[in-house]
Structure 1
Amino acid sequence: MYAIVEIAGQQFKVVKDQKVFVNRLQTEEGKQVAFDNVLLLADGDNVTVGAPAIDGAQVGAKVLKHLKGDKVIVFKKKRRKGYRVKNGHRQALTEIVIESIAASGAKKAAPAKKATKKAEPKVEAKAAAPKATGKADDLKKVEGIGPKIASTLTEAGIATFADLAKATPEAISEIIAGVRGNHVTDTWPAQAQLAADGKWDELKKWQDELDGGKA
Structure 2
Amino acid sequence: MYAIIETGGKQYRVETGSLVQVESLPGEVGGTIELGQVRLVHGDKGVTVGQPLVKGATVKAEIINQGRTRSITIFKKQRRKNYRRTNGHRQGFTKLRITGIETA
Question: What's the TM-score bracket when you normalise by the shorter of the two chains?
Answer: 0.7 to 0.9
Counting only pairs closer than 5 Å after superposition, residues 6-155 of structure 1 correspond to structure 2 as 6-43=6-43, 46-104=46-104
Amino acid in structure 1 at the alignment position of 2:68: K
How big is the shift at 1:80? 4.3
Q: CA RMSD in A?
A: 1.8
Q: State the Cα distance separating 1:86 from its structure 2 match.
A: 2.4
AA of the residue aligned to 2:77: K
Q: 2:53, 2:64 → 1: CA distance?
A: 26
Distance in 2 of aligned mates of 1:82 and 1:45: 65
CA distance in 2, matches of 1:40, 1:50: 6
TM-superposition CA deviations, 1:64-116 (whole Å, max 9, x none): 12111122221222344332222221111111111111122xxxxxxxxxxxx
C-alpha distance in 1 between matches for 2:90 and 2:15: 27
Off by >4 Å, runs of 4+ in structure 1: none
- For the pair shown, the structure with the greater C-alpha radius of gyration is 1
Please state which structure has a larger fraction of its residues in helix.
Answer: 1
SS of equivalent to 2:11:
strand
How many residue pairs align between the two structures? 104
For the residues of structure 2 that align with 1:8 and 1:27, how far apart are their CA atoms?
Answer: 15
TM-score (norm 1): 0.45
**Matching residue's letter, 2:54:** I
Provide the C-alpha distance between the structure 2 equivalents of 1:19 and 1:82, rounded to a whole number of angstroms. 47
Identity of aligned residues (%): 38
TM-score after normalising by structure 2: 0.87
Paired letter, 1:24: S
* Greater share of strand: 2
Q: CA deviation at 1:8?
A: 3.0
Distance 1:45 1:74, change over 3 A: farther
Unaligned runs of 5+ in 1: 105-215
